[in-house]
């Protein structure tokens, strides 16, 4: 797997810029209060502190073909699998090689002791929006079914959605970009283990 700074470059070329599905926004908050009167702070005369802001640290690892991407942030782990790895064209039936990839994600969910898992399906912007919504939801459901069987844990809650062409991560005007946008993402909280 190759660390992909290219993800940031690809995201910059997305249709309306990178965006995230509702409920997946970073939630980092300031870890400590900063006392502006602290003598060790050594602010120049008349200077003031800006409002505290914590940036979410994100590490992205993507395999060379872009078929699988893992994003780790302070709070979450996200696996994104290209649709071509999981399904035949315009299908929601999982391929033979899909099970092994989904099994690996299930193992990571177990390792993190996650009890909430989001499975979101996405398509490119070809075809109708209505068809994309149905297909992306069917694909997300197919991945969730395998995860649910692998995990076999009644304490895990799944949030499964199909977003069609909403929330592109790459430029839909090229086949390479559309290929990245056709994906299923599995996200769960990070526990630090």
DSSP-derived letter for residue 153 is -
State how far Cα 40 lies from the chain centre: 40
Structure tokens at 165: 């062409």
- For 135-151, how does the pLDDT look when each residue is reduced to its tens digit (9 = 90+)? 999 999 999 999 999 99
pTM of the model: 0.74
Return d(Cα 140, Cα 138) in angstroms, integer.
5
pLDDT tens figures, 157-172: 999 999 999 999 999 9
Token readout for 102 is 């989904």
Residue 83 near residue 139 (C-beta atoms within 8 A):
yes
**Beta strand spans in the chain (E):** 2-3, 59-62, 68-72, 76-82, 116-122, 157-162, 183-189
DSSP run (H or E) holding 145:
helix 129-151
* 155 vs 96, residue with greater confidence: 155
């Amino acid at each position: 797997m190759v660390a992909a700074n290219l993800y940031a470059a690809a995201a910059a070329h997305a249709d309306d810029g990178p965006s995230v599905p509702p409920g997946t926004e970073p939630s980092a908050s300031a870890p400590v209060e900063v006392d502006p009167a602290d003598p060790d702070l050594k602010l120049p005369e008349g200077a003031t502190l800006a409002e505290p802001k914590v940036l979410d640290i994100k590490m992205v690892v993507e395999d060379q073909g872009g078929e699988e991407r893992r994003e780790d942030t302070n709070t979450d782990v996200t696996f994104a699998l290209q649709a071509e790895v999981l399904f035949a064209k315009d299908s929601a039936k999982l391929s033979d090689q899909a099970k092994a990839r989904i099994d690996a994600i299930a193992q990571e969910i177990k390792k993190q002791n996650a009890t909430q898992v989001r499975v979101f399906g996405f398509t490119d912007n070809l075809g109708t929006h209505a068809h994309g919504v149905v297909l992306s939801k069917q694909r997300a459901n197919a991945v969730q079914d395998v995860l649910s069987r692998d995990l076999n844990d009644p304490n895990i809650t799944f949030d499964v959605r199909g977003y069609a062409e909403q929330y592109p991560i790459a430029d839909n005007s090229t086949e390479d970009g559309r290929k990245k946008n056709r994906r299923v993402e599995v996200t769960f909280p990070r526990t630090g283990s």
